[in-house]
Amino acid sequence: MLRITIHHEAATMRFVIEGRLVGPWVEELKKCWQAATCPAHGPPLMSTLPIQVDLSAMTLVDREGKALLAEMHRHGAKLSAVGLMTQAIIEEITRLSSRGKL
């Protein structure tokens, strides 16, 4: 199960990811991200807002989930979380995505 909540704030668009980012849920997050950032799907200002992805409530992520988060990071999304395990996953994703390895 995965819950994706998108908060449109004054200076940022914040995605809150809760649950398991695995299997078909990875594609669902991708669709939400693309819809939220595509100028054709919303007001022009929304597509230019910086993206923050809060992974604090994420409980599991598979390889495809990590690859999507890395792609989002490469496109400027900032990944954040509280909790040692999730922070370690973010460090792995950001390190590998900057090298183009994920």
Residue 17 has pLDDT above 90, yes or no: yes
Residue 10 has pLDDT above 60, yes or no: yes
pLDDT in the model for residue 41: 55
Full-model pTM? 0.85
Q: How many structural domains are present in the chain?
A: 1
Q: Which domain holds residue 41?
A: 2-99
Tokens representing residue 85 in the block: 């395990």
- Report helix, strand and coil shares of the chain as percent, to nearest 5: 50, 30, 20
CATH number at residue 51: 3.30.750.24
